[in-house]
Amino acid sequence: MKRKILVIGSGGREHALCKKLLESPHVETVFCAKGNAGMKKDNIQLVDISEEAHDELIAFAKETKIDWVLVGPEVPLMNGIVDDFKAVGIPIFGPSKDAALIEGSKEFAKKIMMKYNVPTAKYQGFSDYEEAVSYVEEQGLPIVIKEDGLAAGKGVTIVETKEEAQQVLKEVLVDVSSRVVIEEFLIGREFSLLSFVNETGFYPMVAAKDHKAIFDGDKGPNTGGMGAYSPVDYVTEDIQQTVIKDIIEPTINGMKEEGRSFEGILYTGLILTKEGPKVIEYNARFGDPETQVLLERLDSDLCEVIEVLLKQEVPEIKWKNKGVSLGVVVSAKGYPGEYEKGTLLPEFEDREDIKIIYSGVAQTEQGLALNGGRVFLVAVSEATQEEAHGKVYGWLEKQNLNQFYYRTDIGTIK
């Protein structure tokens, strides 16, 4: 019998997941709550229920006879959506509220790493402004300041002056009364390694590299992500095996020890230092925009993979071992700061070799219009990184995107 699947979320990551699930011969319908208007172009059924309205989502899943549920964003995970669906017997793939804390609290994640000897930057947590300022003065600059809670990829600041440190700490500790983690600044090359996880074990994906900074050259404030590519040429098989043995395995075993067994997608953000790979952060779900390029490289049926994982069995997962997938995010001008909504998107011609994954869009009488900071992502797969870069930017330059913004160096900067 063909499946009906519900995906929770509204962004590009969810659009890519829905598209991939619809490729499966086992799938009849993919629903997305709330989804976005651009998804309709790919026959994804939108459900007008908020990702935070768990009872309504459960009622919809029962009424529609949904076979299983996949959660995209972090907020519903932290709010316990997995626990709520499991309580009524609806299969759902993602971590429990207890396990999602690995993303929900930077300080909790650091404590797990310290306790289970996972390589990471040394750190200290603070809720007092004066103590935090003193610590920065003792440690020296540059230094990294992270808000403790969820920050959608934007709650990290690398400070290079005392004045900047004081300003960031005041904003978080005094104005918001939150908590911060202050970390040593690590030098190296960043990459991400995501893993499928269930009770039987963990199954790493291929490495990806995303670019969080808004401007070319990785300059400017952090965003949710301005582009990504996979594979990553400097992540060798040896480095990947080191990450698996020294980082992912002890993390998952540590979470079990803490009574917070992790199931779902564990995203490990890493930096390759002179001493070897170290953890920058964990997320408890698929990354965005990494998902959009990783799914281009997945040679297995995503529906089959997740169903095997849900049965607590061992999945067989195949990845394309040749070529490069690359995606560039087109955003609103002014993002991640203030920006205007309502700008109409151009009409794009359908092409097999150019995938358009929508995120911050809304439907108007005139067509799709800008409705969020990151508007859409353009993904391509080619034999080499140079060819992928050339194709995606060649296409972007031919579109009427003067009222939008995108970085020009995704896939060329290491």
In a domain? residue 209: yes
pLDDT given at position 150: 73
In a domain? residue 116: no
Strand partners, 34: 9
How far is C-alpha 33 from the geometric centre of its chain's CA atoms? 18
Q: Does 281 lie in the same domain as 207?
A: yes
Residue 409 DSSP code: -
Task: Tell me the residue length of the chain.
Answer: 414
Q: Quick one: residue 138, left, alpha or beta (phi over 0 = left, psi -120 to 50 = alpha)?
A: alpha
Q: Does 382 lie in the same domain as 342?
A: yes
Residue 87 phi, psi dihedral angles, 5° rounding = -60, -25
pLDDT given at position 109: 97
pLDDT given at position 383: 97
Question: What CATH number has the domain bearing residue 269?
Answer: 3.30.470.20
Tokens at residue 176, please? 């918001």
How far is C-alpha 87 from the geometric centre of its chain's CA atoms? 27
Tell me the pLDDT band of 162, cut-offs 50, 70 and 90: very high
How far is residue 245's CA from residue 370's CA, in Å, rounded to a whole number? 43
pLDDT given at position 413: 73
How far is residue 273's CA from residue 86's CA, in Å, rounded to a whole number? 40
Burial 246-271 (b: 16+ CB within 10 A, else e): bbbbbbbebbeebebbbbbbbbbbbb
- Domain final position from 268, 285, 310: 310
Pairing of strands 201-204, 189-198: antiparallel
Tokens at residue 73, please? 């964003």
For the chain, the domain total comes to 4
Judged against a pLDDT cut of 60, whether residue 154 lies above it is answered with no
pLDDT given at position 297: 98
249-306 pLDDT per residue, tens: 999 999 999 999 999 999 999 999 999 999 999 999 999 999 999 999 999 999 999 9
pLDDT given at position 123: 97
In a domain? residue 335: yes
3-state secondary structure at position 175: helix
Strand partners, 5: 30, 68
The percentage of the chain sitting over the pLDDT mark of 90, rounded to a whole number, equals 95
How far is residue 218's CA from residue 203's CA, in Å, rounded to a whole number? 30
179-188 pLDDT per residue, tens: 999 999 999 9
Q: Does 92 lie in the same domain as 20?
A: yes
Q: Quick one: residue 259, left, alpha or beta (phi over 0 = left, psi -120 to 50 = alpha)?
A: left
Question: What CATH number has the domain bearing residue 382?
Answer: 3.90.600.10
Residue 18 phi, psi dihedral angles, 5° rounding = -60, -45
pLDDT given at position 333: 97
Say what the pTM is.
Answer: 0.96
pLDDT given at position 222: 87
Average pLDDT value for the chain: 96
Nearest to 6 by CA among 79, 80, 94: 94
Q: Does 86 lie in the same domain as 60?
A: yes
Question: What CATH number has the domain bearing residue 62?
Answer: 3.40.50.20
Q: Does 328 lie in the same domain as 361?
A: yes
In a domain? residue 101: no
74-92 pLDDT per residue, tens: 999 999 999 999 999 999 9
Does the N-terminal peptide bond of residue 34 adopt cis geometry, omega within 30 degrees of 0? yes
Nearest to 180 by CA among 115, 136, 116, 142: 136
Q: Does 277 lie in the same domain as 347?
A: no
Q: Does 131 lie in the same domain as 51?
A: no
Q: Does 242 lie in the same domain as 177?
A: no
User: N- to C-terminal Cα distance for the chain?
Assistant: 46
Average pLDDT of 183-197?
97
Judged against a pLDDT cut of 80, whether residue 344 lies above it is answered with yes
Q: Does 89 lie in the same domain as 126?
A: no
Q: Identify the domain containing residue 301 by its residue range.
A: 190-310
Tokens at residue 127, please? 């809720």
In a domain? residue 414: no
In a domain? residue 200: yes
How far is residue 147's CA from residue 176's CA, in Å, rounded to a whole number? 10
Judged against a pLDDT cut of 90, whether residue 414 lies above it is answered with no
What type of residue sits at position 364?
T
pLDDT given at position 298: 98
In a domain? residue 109: no
- Domain final position from 184, 199, 223: 184
Question: What CATH number has the domain bearing residue 154?
Answer: 3.30.1490.20
In a domain? residue 225: yes
Q: Does 15 lie in the same domain as 52?
A: yes
Judged against a pLDDT cut of 90, whether residue 198 lies above it is answered with yes
pLDDT given at position 153: 52
Q: Does 332 lie in the same domain as 302?
A: no
Burial 103-127 (b: 16+ CB within 10 A, else e): bbbbbbbbebbeebebbbbebbbbe
How far is C-alpha 248 from the geometric centre of its chain's CA atoms? 17
Q: Does 298 lie in the same domain as 200?
A: yes
- Domain final position from 310, 333, 356: 310
Pairing of strands 276-283, 213-215: unpaired
The percentage of the chain sitting over the pLDDT mark of 70, rounded to a whole number, equals 99
Name the least confident of 13-17, 121-125, 173-177, 345-349: 173-177
